[in-house]
Homo-oligomer: A and B are copies of this chain.
Amino acid sequence: MHGTLYLIPTPLGDTPPAQVLPAETLDVAARLRCFVVEQAKSARAFLRQLPMGVPVQSLTLRELNEHTSPAQVPPLLAPLLAGEDVGLLSEAGCPAVADPGAELVRLAHQAGIPVRPLVGPSAILLALMGSGLVGQRFAFHGYLPVQADARQHALRILEQRAARDDAAQVFIETPYRNAAMWQAIVTACAAETLLCVAADLTLPTQTIVMRKVADWRGHPPDLARRPAVFLLYHAPTADRPRARHRP
């Protein structure tokens, strides 16, 4: 009898866990003794805020991050195959969406291990909700290219896709490149394109601003050291068959 792999979201910043995690997520996390985490140090800081009932130093924490080689991932399933439940933690937000944890979840399915995602904060999802840009469809692209020409090209492609697919286009950037990204967007994109910038989600400093590119120009947001999600949308221009809404 295999254990269950629980996917446990964590707060997006220095927020008390109970403010952004529901009872079921808190309860499951507090009873587990074995975790796969992105960084052990921050995982311990999170777990110390929960009523674990045992010293956090006594918990088993194994790391899975961008330094983990493919050969090191399958052995992380060992406790699950031996019948123990395991919690997967990301650095912030929901594990296994655009982070190295997805590979562990995929292997768990292949091994017949039950996977149970739990509710918690996701910067991507909160930005999607808060933008007002998601009619029926959206696409998340992770990080765009860093190099200026390639980034401009990628932004123009996303703008075209928004109009072609009638879908919001979502991406992220590392905080110290946010200002350059904002500048690249207002330079590359059309005046009528809608841009939402959502920063510090769930934190006291949260801001979510959505306006036309024309109205953003000359008014750069202060995004220094703030985790941000960017969302672009451009309404379809040609006549298209109306998307299928709830039937």
**Interface positions of A (Cβ within 8 A of B):** 7, 18-24, 66, 94-99, 102-110, 115-117, 119-122, 124-146, 167, 174, 196, 201-202, 206, 208-211, 243-247
- Give the residues in chain B near A144, CB-CB below 8 Å: 244
A122 to chain B, nearest CB (A): 6
Question: In the bound complex, do residue A94 and residue B129 qualify as a contact, i.e. CB atoms below 8 Å apart?
Answer: yes
Among B115, B134, B245, contact of A208 (Cβ-Cβ < 8 Å): B115
How many of these chains are in the complex? Answer: 2
B145 x A129 contact (CB < 8 A): no
Chain B hits for A202, CB < 8 A: 119
Q: Which residues of B contact A133 (CB under 8 A)?
A: 102, 106
Contact A137 B130 (CB under 8 A): no
Contact call B115/A97, Cβ cutoff below 8 A: no
Whether B96 lies near A134 (C-beta < 8 A) is: yes
Q: Are A210 and B146 in contact (CB under 8 A)?
A: no
Could you tell me the distance between the alpha carbons of A174 and B245 in the complex, rounded to whole angstroms? 11
Q: Could you list 29 A-B pairs, sorted by A, with CB under 8 Å?
A: A7-B130, A19-B23, A22-B22, A66-B246, A99-B246, A102-B132, A102-B134, A103-B135, A105-B130, A106-B133, A109-B208, A109-B209, A109-B210, A109-B211, A115-B130, A115-B208, A116-B130, A119-B119, A119-B120, A119-B126, A122-B122, A136-B143, A137-B140, A139-B167, A141-B167, A142-B243, A145-B244, A174-B246, A174-B247
CA distance A31 to B37 in the complex (A): 37
- Looking at the assembled complex, report how far the CB atom of A161 sits from the nearest CB atom of chain B, in whole angstroms: 9
New A-B contacts (10) at CB < 8 Å, excluding given A98-B137, A115-B130, A119-B119:
A7-B130, A18-B22, A20-B119, A94-B129, A95-B129, A96-B130, A106-B133, A107-B132, A117-B208, A138-B139
